[in-house]
Structure 1
Amino acid sequence: METKCPVDAKCAAEISAMLTPPSPLQLQEYFEEIISERKCHGIEVKQDGNLSKGVYATMELKEGELILKDKILVGLQHVPNKLDCLVCGYCFQFIESVEYQIGRKLYLQSLGVPSCNGCDEGECSSSSSNNKACLPEGVIAALMNGELVLPYSDKFPLPSTVPCPGGCQEAYYCSKSCAQTDWESSHSLLCTGERSESVSIEALSKFIQHATETNDIFLLAAKTISFTILRYRKLKAANADRSELSLLLEAWKPISMGYKRRWWECISFPDDVDRSDDTAFRMQIQQLAFKSLQLLKAAIFDEECEPLFSLEIYGNIIGMFELNNLDLVVASPVEDYFLYIDDLPDPEKEKAEKIARQLLDALGDDYSICCQGMI
């Protein structure tokens, strides 16, 4: 049986307005505005009825020239990958130090925490393999507390860790700027710390747990809804005379530009599901999304932004990421460090490898794990 969401019927007109595709003129104006804001030269976006949209050069470009540097609208580090890589919660660059990154990996490995080196959920391998070398007592602690400085690690400096403004233990940043930007754009509603602006931290924790156990794309959808709510509040504070719907549509504008379909209608069919069960499978996906939505609604609901908590909107947000999202990959400075040591000339290499080789053997293949997520 198809899942029914009360908000879908209550806010049908608003939902229809939000999901109406932008006109070609609106799309063109939006992309021209982005190119102008990013101070890009020599490119333009063209639309084609058959081929959709494309970025074209309007002048000759030099090899290696930066053409476009865009901002991430919303992004997410995959939950299992957080065990392997400590990165900024906003810009996703590695933080703290090469020593800390190595020490943290080895510490979690010593606890038997699984490592996910690009594997699917549920296929993570235990990091406590007997094939990995043991280190002298105290080395891991010395790496993490800064007592042990590795040779040539100064060639790979990383920014110090900045805690979450809300006091949670789930988000860390490379700078106060990134911390504040993330707080103002989405994290203030999704923080589980004592200064969280969510309706219920308990409900939020349940939502996060459900997403972690099922599909972390729900976390990306939650970021999108939080982003829209916070934009709406800023717009309302500056435009008190405008209607709630016009403000919501303006706040939703960046999301409206993405091609969308309901998640359960466009999700890739798993190999282990019989295609004769297509309808039942898609119903299960719809029910899973509705369960997630109910948990999120209990955590961050805003009555003035109620259409965002409809299953139709939620399903289309997730479907947008299913169809359009890109893999987020950030190379690990730990891998770069060991490659640097390996390329050193003798006798520098021999001297540096006295400690580096022990650490590399202890890490095993896990040394090269990069930051992985989706945007």
Structure 2
Amino acid sequence: MVCSYCFQFIGSVELQIGRKLYLQDLGVSAVDGCGSSDEAGCSVSSEKVGLPQDAIQSLMNGGLKLPYSDNFSLPAVVPCAGACEEAYYCSKSCAEADWDSFHSLLCTGQQSSVSNTKALMKFTKHANETNDIFILAAKVISFTILRYRKLKASHLEQKGKHKSSNCCNSYNFPLLLEAWKPVSMGFKKRWWDCIALPEDVESCDEVDFRMQIKDLAFESLQLLKEAIYDEECAPLFSLDIYGHIIGMFELNNLDLVVASPIEDYFLYIDDLPCSQKKEAEKITKPFLDALGEDYSIPCQGTAFFPVQSCMNHSCNPNAKAFKREEDRDGQASIIALRRILKGEEITISYIDEDRPYAERQELLADYGFRCGCPRCIEEQP
């Protein structure tokens, strides 16, 4: 369980282990995994060992305390203001920021102000079953609508008009453009035009494939419109805009990995002096065996960072978009790979730049361009 706004792990080590085991029993993958138990240095069985449900519940509800878990304190769980039981936070400030930025329009809780929660649940179900990139697109639209409403309220207040005035329902395109501005820098090709052709799709079937992708986006958009449509923000709900938003994530996303405290906890137990380790493992080993190699799985997803997303590609970049191990939240860094001169453009590589020229060009074709950086000019046949 991570904070829905900053992606810090929250609750407790016991809660994290309990939830992972609970989802494991349900056959649900909580997060995409990376890393292996061999690299981590813990001796775990490759086959998972089942545990009684009451033991898992004891971990989740705080009934069971694991040895030395106090050394891995995590922020307390703060529930969603709308009581949706889907979004949880590490602090009240994160909960309020998420509510104000996105979630107040996308919350399906009983205390939510969303008028059509059933439609919203249909949209979310469709996204989970097809492509969760639609959730990201919905957040962009929600963010823009909420920002537009704040800008309009401020605009009316400055003019000394009340919200009850008839002009409150009028359409203000300049304010909508201003609300859209933080997103506009990442606005890219439409999703069905820029998505890479899967290996199992023949080039002769490309037109049909892209039409299917477009139809999928259309279906998603209709569900979203039914849920949160705002007439004053109608341009945001056009299929063309929706396709561009999804394309933005398709081309400019950055993989984001937040290390799990569960791995750190079991490594800590493994490094204890022999007598303490044996005593602790009487309690911890059954849970480690039940997790199997899943004990080291981090929280892994995708993110859009406006600064990073505006950086151009080079096969000989001077910087790198980087997720440091010490970053325990959703932050990422841009680090210099060499000295950068004043006035020099900061570039990153969208691909593995160590590949040969032809392979690099083939990979970059998925981004819709042919690279003409100094290195490619020098290496081209």
Q: Distance in 1 between matches of 2:247 and 2:191?
A: 4
Tell me the equivalent position of 1:312. Answer: 240
Deviation at 1:110, TM superposition (A): 3.2
Match of 1:213 in 2: 129
The answer to whether structure 1 residue 203 and structure 2 residue 131 are counterparts is no
Is the alpha carbon distance of 1:162 and 1:115 closer, same or farther for their aligned partners in structure 2, counting shifts above 3 Å? closer
User: What is the CA distance between 1:137 and its match in structure 2?
Assistant: 7.1
What amino acid maps onto 1:297 in structure 2? K
8 Å contact kept, 1:115–1:366: no
1:211 is aligned with what amino acid? A
What residue is the counterpart of 1:349 in the other structure? Answer: 277
Residue of structure 1 equivalent to 2:219: 291
Give 3-state SS (helix, strand or coil) of 1:308's partner.
helix
Contact 2:147-2:179 within 8 A present in 1 as well: yes
Letter in 2 for 1:201: T
Measure how far apart 1:347 and its partner are: 2.1
Instruction: Count residues with an aligned counterpart.
Output: 281
Q: Counterpart of 1:326?
A: 254
For the residues of structure 2 that align with 1:199 and 1:108, how far apart are their CA atoms?
A: 31
Q: Is 1:250–2:166 an aligned residue pair? A: no
Residues 360, 367 of structure 1: 8 Å contact kept: yes
Q: Distance in 2 between matches of 1:136 and 1:329?
A: 31
Cα displacement (A) at 1:131? 3.3
Alpha-carbon distance in 1 for matches of 2:227, 2:84: 16
- The answer to whether the 8 A contact 1:326-1:374 is kept is yes
Match status 1:369 vs 2:297 = yes
TM-score by length of 2: 0.70
Runs of at least 4 residues off by over 3 Å: 110-119, 134-138
Aligned residue among 136, 139, 146 for 1:223: 139
Alpha carbons of structure 1 residues 137 and 179: separation in structure 2 relative to 1, 3 Å: closer
Map 1:1-375; keep pairs closer than 5 Å: 86-114=1-29, 117-118=32-33, 131-135=47-51, 138-240=54-156, 244-375=172-303
CA contact (8 A) 1:117 1:366 kept: no
Deviates more, 1:141-150 or 1:253-262: 141-150
Q: Distance in 1 between matches of 2:75 and 2:56?
A: 20
Contact 1:168-1:193 within 8 A present in 2 as well: yes
CA contact (8 A) 2:32 2:299 kept: no
Q: Give the Å deviation of 1:341.
A: 1.2
Amino acid at match of 2:214: Q
Gaps of 5+ in 2: 35-44, 160-169, 304-381
Query: Identity over the aligned pairs, expressed in percent?
Result: 68
Q: CA RMSD in A?
A: 2.0
Tell me how far apart the structure 1 counterparts of residues 86 and 97 of structure 2 sit (CA, whole Å): 16
Counterpart contact for 2:85–2:109, Cα < 8 Å: yes
d(CA) in 2 for partners of 1:226, 1:238: 18
Distance in structure 1 (CA, Å) of the matches to 2:83 and 2:205: 45
Shift of 1:302: 0.7
Deviates more, 1:242-251 or 1:182-191: 242-251
TM-score (norm 1): 0.71
